[in-house]
Protein backbone atom coordinates (compact mmCIF):
# COMPACT_ATOMS: atom_id res chain seq x y z
CA UNK A 1 0.00 0.00 0.00
CA UNK A 2 2.85 2.37 0.89
CA UNK A 3 4.49 1.83 -2.55
CA UNK A 4 1.15 2.52 -4.22
CA UNK A 5 0.73 5.83 -2.35
CA UNK A 6 4.30 6.90 -3.13
CA UNK A 7 3.75 6.05 -6.80
CA UNK A 8 0.45 7.92 -6.83
CA UNK A 9 2.03 11.00 -5.23
CA UNK A 10 4.88 10.89 -7.76
CA UNK A 11 2.41 10.72 -10.63
CA UNK A 12 0.49 13.68 -9.18
CA UNK A 13 3.69 15.72 -8.91
CA UNK A 14 4.60 14.87 -12.50
CA UNK A 15 1.16 15.90 -13.78
CA UNK A 16 1.22 19.21 -11.91
CA UNK A 17 4.68 20.02 -13.34
CA UNK A 18 3.39 19.28 -16.85
CA UNK A 19 0.32 21.45 -16.34
CA UNK A 20 2.40 24.19 -14.76
CA UNK A 21 4.67 24.26 -17.83
CA UNK A 22 1.89 25.59 -20.06
CA UNK A 23 1.34 29.34 -20.05
CA UNK A 24 -1.88 31.27 -20.26
CA UNK A 25 -1.93 34.56 -22.19
CA UNK A 26 -4.85 36.95 -21.71
CA UNK A 27 -6.11 39.15 -24.55
CA UNK A 28 -8.56 41.85 -23.46
CA UNK A 29 -11.26 43.18 -25.76
CA UNK A 30 -11.62 46.95 -25.71
CA UNK A 31 -14.08 49.09 -27.66
CA UNK A 32 -12.69 48.22 -31.11
CA UNK A 33 -9.41 46.43 -30.52
CA UNK A 34 -7.73 43.57 -28.73
CA UNK A 35 -4.96 44.25 -26.22
CA UNK A 36 -2.42 42.98 -26.92
CA UNK A 37 -3.25 42.49 -30.59
CA UNK A 38 -0.21 40.30 -31.33
CA UNK A 39 0.92 37.61 -28.90
CA UNK A 40 3.62 34.98 -29.11
CA UNK A 41 3.18 31.70 -27.26
CA UNK A 42 4.67 28.23 -27.26
CA UNK A 43 2.88 25.08 -28.44
CA UNK A 44 0.47 23.90 -25.74
CA UNK A 45 -0.08 27.38 -24.29
CA UNK A 46 -3.57 28.79 -23.87
CA UNK A 47 -4.93 32.11 -25.15
CA UNK A 48 -7.86 33.55 -23.21
CA UNK A 49 -10.01 36.43 -24.50
CA UNK A 50 -11.69 38.48 -21.78
CA UNK A 51 -14.16 41.40 -21.67
CA UNK A 52 -15.95 40.03 -24.73
CA UNK A 53 -19.28 41.78 -23.99
CA UNK A 54 -20.06 42.67 -27.63
CA UNK A 55 -17.19 40.82 -29.28
CA UNK A 56 -16.20 37.48 -30.75
CA UNK A 57 -12.96 35.89 -31.86
CA UNK A 58 -12.93 33.98 -35.13
CA UNK A 59 -9.98 32.53 -37.00
CA UNK A 60 -9.83 33.76 -40.58
CA UNK A 61 -10.17 30.97 -43.17
CA UNK A 62 -6.85 30.28 -44.88
CA UNK A 63 -4.94 32.31 -42.30
CA UNK A 64 -4.02 29.64 -39.78
CA UNK A 65 -1.40 26.89 -40.15
CA UNK A 66 -2.29 23.91 -42.34
CA UNK A 67 -3.93 21.23 -40.24
CA UNK A 68 -4.76 23.62 -37.37
CA UNK A 69 -8.30 23.75 -36.02
CA UNK A 70 -10.31 26.87 -36.81
CA UNK A 71 -12.40 28.53 -34.09
CA UNK A 72 -15.41 30.81 -33.80
CA UNK A 73 -16.42 31.97 -30.33
CA UNK A 74 -19.91 32.94 -29.29
CA UNK A 75 -20.69 36.64 -29.31
CA UNK A 76 -20.40 38.19 -25.86
CA UNK A 77 -18.69 35.26 -24.13
CA UNK A 78 -15.12 35.01 -22.89
CA UNK A 79 -13.25 32.34 -24.82
CA UNK A 80 -10.11 30.21 -24.48
CA UNK A 81 -8.17 28.02 -26.87
CA UNK A 82 -5.01 25.93 -26.52
CA UNK A 83 -2.85 25.98 -29.64
CA UNK A 84 -0.36 23.22 -30.42
CA UNK A 85 0.50 23.69 -34.09
CA UNK A 86 3.38 26.16 -34.73
CA UNK A 87 2.76 29.08 -37.06
CA UNK A 88 0.76 32.31 -37.15
CA UNK A 89 -3.00 32.44 -36.58
CA UNK A 90 -4.88 35.53 -37.78
CA UNK A 91 -8.25 36.22 -36.19
CA UNK A 92 -10.96 38.87 -36.18
CA UNK A 93 -13.91 40.11 -34.17
CA UNK A 94 -16.78 39.46 -36.56
CA UNK A 95 -19.02 42.36 -35.42
CA UNK A 96 -16.08 44.81 -35.63
CA UNK A 97 -14.14 43.45 -38.61
CA UNK A 98 -14.90 46.59 -40.62
CA UNK A 99 -13.05 48.58 -37.93
CA UNK A 100 -10.05 46.27 -38.31
CA UNK A 101 -10.55 44.60 -34.94
CA UNK A 102 -8.44 41.48 -34.93
CA UNK A 103 -5.07 40.11 -34.03
CA UNK A 104 -2.36 37.53 -34.53
CA UNK A 105 -1.19 34.66 -32.39
CA UNK A 106 2.31 33.36 -33.14
CA UNK A 107 2.86 29.83 -31.88
CA UNK A 108 6.52 28.88 -31.55
CA UNK A 109 9.79 30.73 -31.82
CA UNK A 110 11.21 32.40 -34.89
CA UNK A 111 9.51 33.34 -38.13
CA UNK A 112 6.15 31.58 -38.58
CA UNK A 113 6.44 28.81 -41.18
CA UNK A 114 3.14 29.86 -42.77
CA UNK A 115 4.10 33.53 -43.27
CA UNK A 116 4.31 33.21 -47.07
CA UNK A 117 0.87 31.60 -47.16
CA UNK A 118 -0.49 34.46 -45.03
CA UNK A 119 0.99 37.02 -47.44
CA UNK A 120 -0.83 35.28 -50.32
CA UNK A 121 -4.19 35.28 -48.53
CA UNK A 122 -6.97 37.42 -49.99
CA UNK A 123 -9.01 38.37 -46.91
CA UNK A 124 -8.75 42.19 -46.67
CA UNK A 125 -8.95 42.30 -42.88
CA UNK A 126 -6.40 39.50 -42.69
CA UNK A 127 -4.00 41.32 -45.04
CA UNK A 128 -3.97 44.25 -42.62
CA UNK A 129 -2.90 41.92 -39.84
CA UNK A 130 -0.18 40.28 -41.94
CA UNK A 131 1.41 43.72 -42.44
CA UNK A 132 1.26 44.32 -38.68
CA UNK A 133 2.76 40.87 -38.11
CA UNK A 134 5.66 41.67 -40.44
CA UNK A 135 6.34 44.94 -38.58
CA UNK A 136 6.17 43.06 -35.26
CA UNK A 137 8.70 40.45 -36.49
CA UNK A 138 11.02 43.24 -37.75
CA UNK A 139 10.81 45.10 -34.41
CA UNK A 140 11.63 41.88 -32.53
CA UNK A 141 14.49 41.06 -34.91
CA UNK A 142 12.85 37.79 -35.94
CA UNK A 143 14.08 36.76 -39.38
Domains delineated in the chain: 23-140 (2.60.40.420)
pLDDT tens string 64-93 = 999 999 999 999 999 999 999 999 999 999
Q: Which residues of 41-53 are buried (b: 16+ CB within 10 A; e: fewer)?
A: beeebebebeebe
Mean pLDDT, rounded, of the chain: 88
pLDDT, position 79: 98
pLDDT tens string 30-72 = 999 999 999 999 999 999 999 999 999 999 999 999 999 999 9
pLDDT tens string 94-127 = 999 999 999 999 999 999 999 999 999 989 889 9
Rounded Cα distance between 140 and 104, Å, is 15
Amino acid sequence: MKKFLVGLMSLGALLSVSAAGAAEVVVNATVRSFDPDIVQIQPGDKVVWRNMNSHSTTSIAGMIPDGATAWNSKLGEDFAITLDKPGAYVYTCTPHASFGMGGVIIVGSGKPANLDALKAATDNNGKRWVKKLERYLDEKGIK
